[in-house]
Amino acid sequence: MDPKNGSSFTGFILLGFSDRPQLERVLFVVLLIFYLLTLLGNTTIIALSRLDPHLQTPMYFFLSNLSFLDLCYTTSTVPQLLVHLRGPDKSISFGACVAQLFVSLGLGSTECILLGVMAFDRYAAICRPLHYTVIMHPRLCALMASASWFIGFANSSLQTVLIFLVPLCGRNKMHHFFCEVTPLLKLACVDTTGNENEIFFASVIIFLTPVALIMFSYGQIVRAVLRIKSATGQRKAFGTCGSHLTLVSLFYGSAIYAYVQPSNNYSQDQGKFISLFYTIVTPMANPFIYTLWNKDVMGPMRKVLTVTRHHNT
């Protein structure tokens, strides 16, 4: 997508929810609250994982990565959306649009892979408890986390290049609230079937590999848990896995709808609300679902709050 395709082309207009002014006012308040909760919840997880020695385990290492990722992902889209919801200017420069697409795709792809890595961690903890510390060595954890980030942004680089090679012929009004794959391809003035097929193939690879790892891990976990004779032991094992499965369902459900469905089934309004879900609701919910209801986290958090109160008094 050459920015010089149109004579006066300087960027894009993100129409977003501009056809619903009353909804914009409501969305501004709701999204602001959700964004602040996202910052609070995910920052808390990162801080506690660093400060409390009991939380310096592989599971919380990966959770810290996930929380940092969610902070970056939400911040790459929501602050700009809040500005657009409050004013008449809905524009975004060409460079900012490229950067936003690259970052959001990279972070989304990274989360996809990271959720698969976290499933393997649960498999090692439940199915190989005696060898867990050997299998999930800190160097291996760092390597798997680094690989998730590298593969995620390598995929984003490929997809971003494929999308912005498509000619626009001066079209710049996008029916979305941030720069995303399908709305951008809708602006093209040429047949984009080849690009869509290449992007679809890359998306399927990024989705299927972690999904296969998740299915293998949980298949082994179910077999191991069913062999546990204690009902309390079974509940504890399924409890730690239940939170992860909830995150997997939320993330993959919305991502498959947004990126894997055929473009001819794409609905602009549905696409915008699904995007709202995975850009703000899922990142906000992650820390609450996975850790803030967990006794391992609530204990250290109470200690930190108690120390803070004592300092203040």
Question: How many separate domains does the chain show?
Answer: 1
Of 290, 313, 259, which Cα lies nearest the Cα of 65? 290
CATH number at residue 34: 1.20.1070.10
**123 against 253, higher pLDDT:** 123
Task: Tell me the whole-structure pTM to 2 decimals.
Answer: 0.86
DSSP string for residues in 134-177: HHT-HHHHHHHHHHHHHHHHHHHHHHHHHHHTS--TT--EESSS
Determine, yes or no, domain membership for 283.
yes
Determine, yes or no, domain membership for 128.
yes
Determine, yes or no, domain membership for 266.
yes
- pLDDT for 80 equals 94
Determine, yes or no, domain membership for 7.
no
Of 156, 141, 106, 123, which Cα lies nearest the Cα of 241? 123
Determine, yes or no, domain membership for 222.
yes
**How many angstroms separate the CA atoms of 142 and 310, rounded?**
36
% residues pLDDT > 70 (the chain): 86
**196 against 69, higher pLDDT:** 69
Determine, yes or no, domain membership for 310.
no
Print the domain residue range for 244: 12-300
Q: Is the dihedral of CA 268, 269, 273, 279 positive or negative?
A: positive
- Does residue 194 surpass a pLDDT of 50? yes
Residues 85-132 have pLDDT tens digits of 988 889 999 999 999 999 999 999 999 999 999 999 999 999 998 999
